[in-house]
């Protein structure tokens, strides 16, 4: 169906509407989660042997495009990725340690290449999927496959969607790997920006005491009436 934004979620996933205030959390735990480094100008294509210094992510396979705001609208900052490069779908990962134990989610901005430079070849049409894998290197599993439709998008209005992964219970300072893999061959793939880690607040002690107090008062009233 054209002109409908389709969001494919093969997992239990919550969608958030907005990020936190600009700049918040972007550099917690991850390096270059906003893909602002290195400053690339209009854009360039990289593979595992040409990944630029300062990129912070390992290109595991295929190709990616690092694109500036003069090419298309980023979700955050001035740069973002097309996870499919010139010919090949790309896969990038980063090994990192969560800043603390606790319950965390990973958030990222997702769009789809609307086929700017090759308009008319059909590559900018349809849903552009990527898969998110996470875990200890060698023991990873999928957090889901996510995609949005390129048909309703343009380089001036990328209509970035914020994806939030399922909650991850992190017990300690283990090194984990986060990997994004394009499932789209050719030059127009899923677009990725602003990857960040966000801790899930635990219910506060004051809140729990309030719940207990209200419950206790209600129970007492019932006893008096009985
Ligand atoms: Ca960015």
Residue 159, in any domain of the structure: yes
CA of residue 132 to ligand 1 center, whole Å: 18
Residue at 2 is within a domain: no
User: pLDDT category, 221, cuts 50, 70, 90?
Assistant: low
Q: Quote the pLDDT of residue 42.
A: 95
What is the extent of the structural domain holding 56?
A: 14-225
CA of 32 to the centre of ligand 1 (A): 9
Over residues 78-121, the pLDDT tens digits come to 999 999 998 899 999 999 999 999 999 999 999 999 986 666 67
Give the pLDDT of residue 47: 97
Average pLDDT over residues 181-201: 95
Residue 49 CA, chain-centre distance (Å), reads: 24
Provide the domain count of the chain: 1
For residue 5, being part of any structural domain is answered with no
Q: Which CATH number fits the domain that encloses residue 165?
A: 2.60.120.260
Q: What is the pLDDT of residues 160-179, one digit of tens each?
A: 999 999 999 999 899 999 99
Ligand 1 centroid to residue 155 C-alpha, Å: 15
How much is the average pLDDT of 144-170?
96
In-domain check, residue 73:
yes
The predicted structure's pLDDT at residue 213: 55
Q: Is position 7 within any domain?
A: no
Distance from residue 114's CA to the centre of ligand 1 (Å)? 18
Report pLDDT for 137: 96
Give yes or no for residue 154 having a pLDDT over 50. Answer: yes
Residues 154, 46 contacting (CB under 8 angstroms) = no
pLDDT of residue 27: 65
Does a structural domain hold residue 4?
no
Query: Ligand 1: distance of its center to the CA of 109 in Å?
Result: 9
Residue 100's pLDDT is 94
- Measured in Å, residue 78 CA sits from the centre of ligand 1 at 5
pLDDT value of position 15: 42
171 in any annotated domain: yes
Q: What is the mean pLDDT of the chain?
A: 83
**108 occurs within a structural domain:** yes
Mean pLDDT of 215-221: 50
138 CA distance to ligand 1 middle (Å): 29
- Among 100, 90, 96, 117, CA closest to 32: 96
pLDDT at res. 67:
97
Q: The whole model's pTM is what?
A: 0.80
């Amino acid at each position: 169906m054209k002109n409908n934004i389709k969001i494919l979620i093969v997992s239990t996933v919550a969608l958030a509407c907005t990020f936190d205030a600009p700049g918040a959390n972007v550099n917690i735990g991850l390096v270059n989660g906003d893909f602002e480094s290195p400053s690339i100008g209009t854009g360039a294509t990289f593979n595992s042997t040409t990944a630029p210094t300062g990129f912070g992510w390992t290109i595991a396979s295929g190709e990616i495009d690092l694109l500036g705001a003069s090419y298309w609208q980023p979700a955050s900052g001035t740069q973002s990725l097309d996870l499919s490069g010139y010919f090949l779908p790309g896969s990038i990962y980063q090994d990192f340690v969560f800043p603390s134990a606790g319950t965390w989610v990973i958030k990222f901005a997702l769009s789809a290449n609307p086929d700017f430079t090759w308009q008319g070849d059909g590559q900018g049409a349809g849903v552009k999927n990527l898969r998110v894998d996470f875990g200890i290197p060698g023991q990873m599993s999928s957090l889901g496959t996510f995609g949005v439709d390129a048909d309703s998008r343009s380089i001036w209005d990328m209509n970035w969607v914020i994806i939030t992964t399922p909650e991850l219970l992190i017990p300690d300072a283990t090194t984990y790997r986060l990997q994004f893999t394009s499932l789209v061959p050719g030059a127009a793939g899923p677009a990725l920006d602003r990857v960040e880690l966000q801790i899930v607040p635990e219910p506060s002690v004051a809140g729990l005491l309030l719940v207990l107090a209200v419950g206790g008062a209600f129970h007492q009233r019932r006893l008096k009436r009985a």
